């Protein structure tokens, strides 16, 4: 597809999510590391309101809080398949303005990006894209659905209670009784669809539980309350591939506070990442195998970071969650784990783009007649 010209990679960042800033940081790293000899980067910024910016410097525009529409639009190609960039003033009739985007790299964390929404748009437009498809993305985003599927696949997860806003308001006392009986305190209260620890509280009694649910409901109509992993270590594994996914070495996160909250992740904290994690070979292999099983269970593709809780004696390993578009700065865990496994950042990006094209080609071969 790239004979004589570079692959045009649309890198999409920003978006209507609480993780907007995190996405900008990830995308800056990705764009800087894409090999300029092989790729032409097309930066595509999504504003917090859902506007698309694709001319000039969308990264700078987003950082400056831009909302305005610009001179170039990304549209589905009216002459058949694909996405094209087109100059708004020259219009679709200016054929020379129709430049196809060969592959899209959505570097979007959280809702409206990591959850299957942009993946659906790209499927409709028939454009290859990096990472999980619609189903895998949606399952990876919704913590309650993810856990339901992981448990059905026989994977060990912490017990939980999930509800939507009207169920909570319709039966507050009953739900609290159920949470106390099934999960106890402390428990973790989370918006079902978010990430970066935004909106999460560690509840220690009935009053903090009520406040925590109130807070989580400001981010999502659906909330999940989870039994706490007590005195557990947090370890993570990067998975890469489509039908034959492989697992990286294991890394460990040691937050500089009680749990791995937003500040511990992104503010200037002294949270440590240990790569590789100091684990026995046996526990490490067991965790890597679980990571691949979890990746397959939710039908991931391309990449995912699978996060675990592991007991100090290494006897219990529980899947916490999958991130289908993990943090992607050059110091983020996902690329760091690959680097430690022998795949440096730039080559990881090459591989993800190859996997995107492979997956698209495989689906394009399917029959559409009857
Ligand atoms: N059930 C739990 N027991 C102990 N710690 C938890 C639990 N759930 C979440 N945490 C802490 O909160 C952090 C963020 O929770 P997580 O479910 O991974 O949400 P996010 O998608 O925002 O990363 C975890 O990394 C961990 O430190
Ligand atoms: Mg997490």
> What are the boundaries of each domain within the chain?
7-129, 159-227, 230-361
Nearest CA to ligand 1 atom 24: 260
**Residue 34 pLDDT greater than 90, yes or no:** yes
Confidence grade of residue 96 (pLDDT, cut at 50, 70, 90): very low
More confident residue, 364 or 230: 230
pLDDT computed for residue 69 by the predictor: 57
- Structural fold of domain 159-227: Dna Ligase; domain 1 (3.30.1490)
Instruction: Write down the pLDDT at residue 93.
Output: 54
Question: Span 336-350, mean pLDDT?
Answer: 97
Residue to probe by mutation, ligand 1, list 259, 294, 312, 327, most atoms within 8 Å of CB: 259
Q: Do domains 7-129 and 230-361 have the same CATH topology?
A: no
Work out the percent of the chain whose per-residue pLDDT is above 70: 92
Closest ligand 1 atom number to CA of residue 259: 27
pLDDT over threshold 90, residue 76: no
Report the pLDDT value the prediction gives residue 159, as an integer from 0 to 100.
Answer: 98
Q: Which residue has the tokens 């026989």?
A: 154
pTM of the model: 0.93
Tell me the best of 157, 190, 320 to mutate to test the pocket of ligand 1, counting ligand atoms within 8 Å of each CB and taking the most.
320
As a whole number, mean pLDDT of residues 67-76 equals 66
User: Cis peptide before 120, with omega less than 30 degrees from 0?
Assistant: no
Separation of CA 102 and ligand 2 centre (Å): 31
Asked whether the predicted pLDDT for residue 71 surpasses 80, the reply is: no
pLDDT at residue 302 greater than cutoff 70: yes
**Contact assessment for residue 114 and residue 195, using Cβ atoms and an 8 Å cutoff:** yes
Asked if 127 and 44 touch (Cβ cutoff 8 Å), the reply is no
Query: Is the pLDDT confidence value at 74 over 80?
Result: no
Question: What's the chain's average pLDDT?
Answer: 91
Of ligand 1's listed atoms, the one at least distance from the Cα of 158 is 1
Question: What is d(CA 50, CA 16) in angstroms, rounded to the nearest whole number?
Answer: 6
Closest ligand to Cα 264: 1
Query: Rounded mean pLDDT of 155-174?
Result: 97
CA-closest candidate to residue 45, choices 64, 29, 24, 31: 24
CB of 188 closer than 6 angstroms to any ligand 1 atom = yes
Q: How far is the CA of 233 from the centre of ligand 1 (A)?
A: 11
* Domain 7-129 annotated CATH 3.40.50.20: yes
What mean pLDDT is predicted for residues 123-132? Answer: 93
Kindly state if the Cβ of 52 falls inside 6 Å of ligand 1: no
pLDDT at 322: 97
Q: How confident is the model at residue 110 (pLDDT cuts 50, 70, 90)?
A: confident
Residue 203: band (very low, low, confident or very high) from pLDDT cuts 50, 70, 90:
very high
CATH architecture of 230-361: 2-Layer Sandwich (3.30)
Distance set, CA 261 to CA 202, 269, 331 (Å): 10, 11, 18
Distance between CA atoms of residues 267 and 33, nearest Å: 24
User: How confident is the model at residue 291, as a pLDDT?
Assistant: 98
CB 127 within 8 A of CB 83: yes
Question: How far does the centroid of ligand 1 lie from the alpha carbon of residue 171, in Å?
Answer: 26
């Amino acid at each position: 597809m790239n004979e004589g010209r570079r692959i045009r990679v649309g890198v999409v960042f920003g978006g209507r999510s609480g993780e907007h800033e995190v996405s900008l940081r990830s995308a800056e790293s990705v764009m800087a590391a894409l090999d300029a000899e092989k790729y032409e980067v097309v930066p595509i910024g999504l504003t917090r309101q859902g506007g698309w910016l694709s001319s000039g410097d969308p990264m700078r525009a987003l950082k400056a809080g831009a909302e305005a529409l610009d001179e170039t639009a990304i549209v589905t190609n009216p002459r058949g398949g694909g996405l094209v960039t087109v100059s708004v003033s020259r219009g679709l009739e200016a054929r020379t303005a129709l430049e196809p985007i060969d592959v899209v790299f959505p570097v979007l964390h959280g809702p409206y990006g990591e959850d299957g929404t942009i993946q659906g748009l790209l499927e409709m437009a028939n454009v290859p894209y990096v990472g999980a498809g619609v189903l895998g993305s949606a399952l990876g985003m919704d913590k309650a659905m993810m856990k339901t599927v992981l448990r059905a696949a026989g994977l060990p997860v912490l017990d939980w209670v999930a509800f939507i806003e009207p169920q909570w308001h319709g039966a507050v006392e009953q739900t609290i009784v159920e949470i106390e009986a099934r999960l106890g305190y402390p428990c973790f209260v989370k918006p079902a669809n978010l990430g970066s620890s935004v909106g999460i509280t560690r509840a220690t009694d009935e009053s903090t539980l009520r406040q925590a649910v109130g807070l989580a409901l400001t981010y999502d109509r659906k909330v999940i309350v989870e039994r706490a992993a007590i005195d557990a270590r947090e370890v993570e594994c990067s998975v890469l591939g489509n039908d034959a996914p492989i697992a990286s070495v294991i890394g460990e996160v040691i937050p500089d506070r009680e749990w791995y909250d937003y500040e511990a992740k992104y503010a200037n904290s002294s949270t440590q990442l240990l790569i590789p994690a100091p684990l026995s070979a046996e526990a490490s292999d067991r965790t890597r195998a679980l990571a691949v099983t979890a990746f397959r269970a939710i039908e991931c593709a391309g990449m995912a970071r699978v996060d675990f809780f592991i007991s100090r004696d290494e006897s219990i390993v529980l899947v916490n969650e999958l991130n289908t578009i993990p943090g992607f700065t050059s110091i983020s865990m996902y690329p760091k784990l690959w680097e430690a496994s022998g795949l440096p950042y730039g080559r990881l990006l090459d591989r993800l783009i190859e996997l995107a094209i492979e997956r698209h080609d495989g689906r394009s071969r399917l029959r559409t007649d009857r």
